[in-house]
Amino acid sequence: MQSKSNSRLHVAIIMDGNGRWATQRGLPRVAGHRAGVAAVRRVVEHAPPLGIRVLTLYAFSSDNWARPASEVQSIFWIIRAFLRLECERLRQQGARLEVIGRRDRIPAPLLREIERTESATAAGRSLHLRIAIDYSAQMSIAAAVATAAAQPPREQLISPDHMRAFIAHALTADSGNVDLLIRTGGEQRLSDFLLWETAYAELVFTHRMWPDFDESDLASALGDFNHRERRFGAIPAAPVQSESSNTDSAQ
**What is the contact surface with ligand FPP in residues (CB under 6 A)?**
15-20, 33, 36-37, 40, 57, 59-60, 64, 75, 78-79, 82, 131, 185, 210
Q: Which is nearer to ligand FPP, 23 or 138 (CB)?
A: 23
Q: Which of 18, 63, 64, 192 is catalytic?
A: 64
64 among known catalytic residues:
yes
- Closest distance of CB 15 from ligand FPP, Å: 5
Question: 58, 13 in Cβ contact below 8 A?
Answer: yes
- Closest distance of CB 83 from ligand FPP, Å: 8
How far apart (Å, rounded) are the C-alpha atoms in residues 46 and 242?
43
**What number of other Cβ atoms are within 10 A of residue 117's Cβ?**
26
Q: Which is nearer to ligand FPP, 76 or 166 (CB)?
A: 76
Question: 58, 129 in Cβ contact below 8 A?
Answer: no
Strand, helix or coil for residue 205: strand
Q: Which is nearer to ligand FPP, 30 or 144 (CB)?
A: 30
- Closest distance of CB 249 from ligand FPP, Å: 55
Backbone angles phi, psi at 108, to 5 degrees: -55, -45
Question: 213, 184 in Cβ contact below 8 A?
Answer: yes
Beta bridge partners of 133: 60
Residue nearest to ligand FPP (CB): 19
Q: Which is nearer to ligand FPP, 82 or 193 (CB)?
A: 82
Q: What residues act catalytically?
A: 16, 64
